[in-house]
Structure 1
Amino acid sequence: MKVNLSMRDMETVLLLGRVLNFRQAAAQLHLSQSALSAQILRIEEALGVRLFERTTRTVRLTAAGEVFVRQSAYVQAAFREAVDAVSGIAHAERGHVAVAAMPSLAAKLLPRVLMAFQRAHPAVTFKVFDTLSGPAFDLVRAGEVDFALTAADPEQVDLQYEAMMSDRFVLLIPKSHALARGKGPIRWADTVHLSHISMTHPSSVRQYSEWAFLQNRIRFQPLFEAERLQTIAAMVECGFGVAALPEIAASTVAHPGIVERLLTAPVTRRSIGLVTARNRTLSPAAAALLGILRAHLAERRDHTTRSR
């Protein structure tokens, strides 16, 4: 049996079932009593059962009417919850946001942004994938994250990339090393004889380092490879070697036993930006988080400009 009833029909039955008075129910529904009677009759005919017993003086629910009213109340509550939930998501009051970010950004940039977002949207939950650039692109492609913050990769042409910031490469040197006593920039080519500690493939740090050495017709051959910045910094601090890292990454592992010097010839800038799927719209919550991120980056740029 196909029954065609609306939420309006259920609300009418619920109201009449509560007041058990056609005149009062009609007034609250802004209907005439005859129109209300016709609507109730139509509902009963659609269901194939009487919901109300009526006399000239009384109105009462039948057994079927009691069941219908009880179940309709559940449906109405569930409908309102659904509307509230969708409204909350539409206004970024509820929902879930997932973001992928390079380890240095996850440690240095995101915490302040996420704190500001959580204060503005306390009911929204979020998840951060702390990962290298290669896996970050894969997470966006698979739809497991709303967006990624990572280094540019021209090979990922199926995804949208928007540059948001850049940072220069510096050389991390043990404080006891002779180069640590020098001032000013140091050329990439002048570090070729040193023991280099580098991140593994497919990290963007490794790719940029290899590119910088190739500009000097030198093949980059690090002595030691590691996946974690903390491991690289510990190796540098104990005197194992030097490491070329972007400034943001270097700042996350700063240590009194390590000295930084800017690398030049060429000055190498790593582009960092927003990665999104081309044909996927960000949820309101994700868009709100991105808005806070943009405002934070603009504030950082203004602060840097004033400091110079």
Structure 2
Amino acid sequence: MYYFVKVAQKEHVTQAAEEMHVAQSAVSRQIHQLEEELGVKLFLQKGRNLQLTPVGQLFLKRAEAILKELEKAVQEIQEFIDPELGEIRIGFPHSLGIHLIPSVVAAFRKLHPNVKFRFKQGMYPSLIRDVINGEIDLAFISPYPEKCEQVTGEILLTEELAAILPPNHRLANEEEIHLSELKDDTFVLFSQGYSLRPIVWDACVQAGFSPSIGFEGEETDTIRGLVAAGMGVSLLPEMALRHTSELQPVSVRIAEPKVTRTVGLIRRVDEKLPRVAETFQRFLLEYFKDHTTK
């Protein structure tokens, strides 16, 4: 079944065999035996590649689900023997990967040095989808999804967004500004699909204007660099401004309206987490409780 899934993913026996470090003949033999046992053709030859038949596509969905459950069962046994040797599969958006993720993982590994992490970076919709599909155990996400019935979790923190301006901007020396003072400026925003974009857009609308978008980017470093180079203005969360670089924009607090984002931790509804992931979840709740009250 494992060979079948790998061949289906690669659509090529040779490539699948190379990735699994086994002989091509062994893979072909296993696929043939599986087809004989099921009494159906799972693949059709299409040039040099293989293509799943309709029944092969149906079987692939079940096979992937079965292998995921098997992997989970093996992990549970390993954790039962020693929960300190488990692995945590965790997702996060790019904006949290610069400072927050390294900080909390480093703090956790001081207490549990043998626990492994498998990281998956993604955009807001894909992180929710990966949690629902069981691709990851937990996901840091921002903003926290209030209306998704298939996931549950907790808000870990709420942080303010600040205006970032070029060093020579007319408001660069102000301690705080009203967002409406930027209505005539060009904005550098995240691309469509990134959760910070609607937060910034909605804040501008609340301040009485629709932002004029001059540039779009997909990473906080890109946004900061473009602003520092004088390409426009933007809004970024506090934690995204802790990292410094050669091109550094000016950060100014926004007095009105107050612009914030929530950062949460989500998991699947009615799904028991692996013991090691439960331990990490409890650690995070205490970690952010301590760090937000100090």
Same fold at TM > 0.5: yes
Conserved 8 A contact 2:162-2:253: yes
Residue 255 (structure 1) shift: 6.0
Structure 2 residue identity aligned to 1:179: L
- Shift in Å, 1:85: 7.8
Separation in structure 2 between the aligned mates of residue 104 and residue 279 of structure 1, nearest angstrom: 28
Unaligned 5+ residue runs, structure 1? 1-81, 304-308
Instruction: Map Cα deviations across residues 84-105 of structure 1 (whole Å, 9 max, x no partner).
Output: 9836446522221111112232
Percentage identity across paired residues of the two chains: 23
Tell me the distance in 2 between the aligned counterparts of 1:291 and 1:254: 34
Counterpart residue number, 1:224:
215
Distance 1:88 1:135 in 2: 28
What SS does the corresponding residue of 1:222 show, helix, strand or coil?
strand
C-alpha separation in 2, matches of 1:136 and 1:157: 15
Aligned partner of 1:208 in structure 2 is 199
* Alignment: residue pair count: 221
Q: Find 2:264's aligned residue among 273, 280, 293.
A: 273
Alignment of 1:182-197 (within 5 A): 182-183=174-175, 185-197=176-188
- Verify the 8 A CA contact 1:173 1:241 in the aligned structure 2: yes
Q: 1:106-163: per-residue Cα shift (whole Å, max 9, x none)?
A: 2211212212333333332211222222221111111111111111234433211421
Determine if the alignment matches structure 1 residue 105 to structure 2 residue 104.
no
TM-score by length of 2: 0.68
**TM-score, normalising length: structure 1:** 0.65
Say yes or no: does 1:142 pair with 2:130.
no
Q: 2: distance between equivalents of 1:255 and 1:248?
A: 18
Q: Find the structure with the greater CA-based Rg.
A: 1
Aligned match of 2:87: 96
Q: Which runs of 4+ in 1 moved over 3 A?
A: 82-85, 87-91, 252-257
Are the aligned partners of 2:228 and 2:248 in contact in 1 as well (CA < 8 Å)?
A: yes
Instruction: Say if 2:238 is the partner of 1:247.
Output: yes
Equivalent of 1:179 in 154, 168, 171: 171
Output the amino acid matched with 2:278: A
CA-to-partner distance for each residue in 1:267-293, whole Å, 9 max, x for gaps?
Answer: 011111111110211111111112222
Q: CA separation of 1:256/1:235 partners in 2, compared to 1, >3 Å: closer, same or farther?
A: closer
Q: Which runs of 5+ in 2 are unaligned?
A: 1-72
